[in-house]
């Protein structure tokens, strides 16, 4: 088959969607399929297809779109800059897809609601379309609006309604919709009007052999003597809840000082988080390591993994921590409770509950036997649960279903 993996997000980028696309492309090509990828360029100036010479500059497309979507023709779109930006970005993708001639593909596998909606509108009638939903854009944005009233976006405002509508249409765009967990499926069914019988649920896989090789390569970052290491690899963004973790670490420091925390990643909240760390006088305990390519080695040098997310789906960071044999402390957000067995291979705390998180960290720092047992169980669980072979069997089943549906009259 000729398969196109398409996303609204930048490719390449640091994050789970890109990691998923890379693993999927490698496995599909190993099975004899021809696979291309399409997405935004890292600088967001063009739509491109990495590995080929195909790209289209957005400056070329902007006048064409503005002629159709100017304020006189589409006043509702211009009433909110979030809506205007998203509509332009979606049309850039549609026009680029048509320009690149996507009729050559037997199947298009989109990785977000923006791409799913765009490709539904321009693909050939008999091309199969799979809409993979890796998280809820609408839920993340509306949660952000609720927690940040200074943004001035309320439930009856255009941006709020727009993203809820886009979630509905994007998740319904494919012949088959895919989610990684039952939480995401129920959210789509209950909140965004997607029929349950069109949704296929299966978890991501992890190339455990490749991850293990990187783990054995180690890292140049050394453990501080006499300290246990808490690690949080995450994008420094609102939804990742790094501020929650730092607040919990402030409480933990009042009880014991035999630890450090490595925060690995970059993001738009970095300055805010550095300021919070300084205000709570945690500069010696909380270290921001930035974006690194030796995370497996860092995990191997750590004792406890934490993901205090406000919203997430099925992060690769949790999967990797489990395969590395770390007890995983996660929040109850999104699909995280489906990844961790509380008290067996990790611990779950309520979203934004700094007191419970601090108590759990203290318990694992105090109880070496419990910490090691949870880590041992996590490694066994991860090796079985995140099988790439199982994931690829599920992917091919979904592809065949989508192709069969695309041939129906």
The one-digit pLDDT tens for each residue of the chain (409 residues) are 999 999 999 999 878 899 999 999 999 999 999 999 999 999 999 999 998 889 999 999 999 999 988 888 888 888 888 889 999 999 999 999 999 999 999 999 999 999 999 999 999 999 999 999 998 988 888 887 887 788 788 888 888 888 899 999 999 999 999 999 999 999 999 999 999 999 999 999 999 999 999 999 999 999 999 999 999 999 999 899 999 999 999 999 999 999 999 999 999 999 999 999 999 999 999 999 999 999 999 999 999 999 999 989 999 999 999 999 999 999 999 999 999 999 999 999 999 999 999 999 999 999 999 999 999 999 999 999 999 999 999 999 999 999 999 998 8
Phi and psi based region of residue 156 (left: phi greater than 0; alpha: psi -120 to 50; beta: remaining): alpha
**pLDDT single digits (tens) 135-155:** 898 888 888 788 778 878 888
User: Quick one: tokens of 46?
Assistant: 């063009």
| Angle, CA of 50, 55 and 61, to the nearest 5° | 145
pTM for the predicted model, two decimal places:
0.92
> Which tens digits make up the pLDDT trace of 82-135?
889 999 999 999 999 999 999 999 999 999 999 999 999 999 999 999 999 998
Helix 81-99 / helix 58-68 crossing angle, nearest 10 deg: 120
Distance CA 401, CA 193 (A): 21
Q: Compute the CA torsion angle 181, 185, 187, 192 (nearest 10 deg).
A: 150
Report the Cα–Cα distance between both ends of the chain, in Å, rounded. 21
Nearest to residue 306, comparing CAs of 242, 378, 366, 215?
242
Which residues touch 238 (CB under 8 Å, ≥6 apart)?
Answer: 144, 269, 310
Task: Return the C-alpha torsion angle 130, 136, 142, 144, nearest 10.
Answer: -130
User: Degrees (nearest 5) of the Cα angle 372, 375, 381?
Assistant: 145
The whole-angstrom separation of Cα 107 and Cα 128 is 5
Two structure tokens written together for 379: 């490694």
* pLDDT tens-place string over residues 21-38: 999 999 999 999 999 999
Q: What is the dihedral of CA 209, 213, 214, 220, to 10 degrees?
A: 160
Q: Which of 137, 182, 184, 143 is nearest to 164 (CA)?
A: 137
């Amino acid at each position: 088959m000729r398969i196109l993996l398409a996303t609204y997000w930048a490719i390449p980028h640091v994050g789970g969607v890109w990691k998923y696309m890379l693993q999927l492309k490698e496995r599909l090509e190993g099975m004899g399929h021809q696979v291309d990828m399409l997405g935004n360029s890292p600088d967001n100036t063009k739509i491109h297809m990495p590995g080929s010479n195909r790209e289209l500059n957005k400056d070329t497309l902007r006048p064409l779109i503005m002629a159709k979507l100017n304020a006189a023709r589409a006043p509702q779109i211009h009433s909110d800059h979030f809506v205007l930006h998203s509509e332009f970005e979606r049309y850039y993708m549609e026009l680029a897809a048509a320009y690149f001639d996507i009729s050559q593909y037997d199947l298009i596998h989109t990785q977000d609601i923006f791409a799913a909606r765009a490709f539904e509108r321009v693909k050939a009638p008999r091309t199969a379309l799979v809409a993979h939903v890796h998280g809820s854009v609408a839920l993340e944005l509306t949660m952000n609006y609720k927690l940040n009233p200074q943004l001035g976006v309320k439930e009856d405002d255009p941006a709020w309604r727009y993203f809820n509508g886009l979630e509905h249409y994007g998740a319904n765009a494919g012949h088959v919709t895919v989610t990684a967990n039952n939480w995401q499926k129920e959210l789509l069914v209950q909140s965004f009007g997607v029929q349950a019988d069109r949704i296929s649920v299966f978890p991501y896989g992890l190339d455990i052999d490749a991850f293990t090789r990187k783990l054995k390569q180690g890292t140049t970052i050394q453990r501080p003597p006499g300290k246990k290491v808490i690690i949080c690899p995450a994008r420094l963004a609102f939804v990742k809840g790094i501020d929650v973790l730092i607040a919990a670490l402030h409480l933990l420091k009042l009880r014991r000082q035999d630890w450090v925390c490595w925060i690995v990643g970059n993001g738009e909240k970095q300055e805010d988080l550095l300021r919070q760390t300084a205000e709570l006088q945690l500069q010696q305990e909380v270290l921001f390591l930035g974006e690194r390519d030796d995370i497996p080695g860092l995990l191997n040098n750590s004792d406890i993994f934490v993901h205090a997310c406000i919203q997430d789906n099925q992060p690769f960071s949790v999967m990797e921590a489990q395969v590395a044999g770390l007890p995983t402390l996660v929040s109850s957000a999104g699909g995280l409770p489906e990844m961790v067995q509380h008290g067996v291979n990790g611990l779950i705390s309520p979203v934004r509950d700094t007191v419970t998180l601090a108590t759990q960290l203290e318990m694992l720092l105090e109880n070496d036997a419990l910490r090691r047992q949870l880590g041992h169980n996590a490694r066994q669980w991860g090796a079985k649960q995140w099988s790439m072979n199982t994931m690829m069997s599920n992917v091919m089943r979904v592809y065949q279903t989508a192709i069969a549906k695309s041939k129906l009259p």
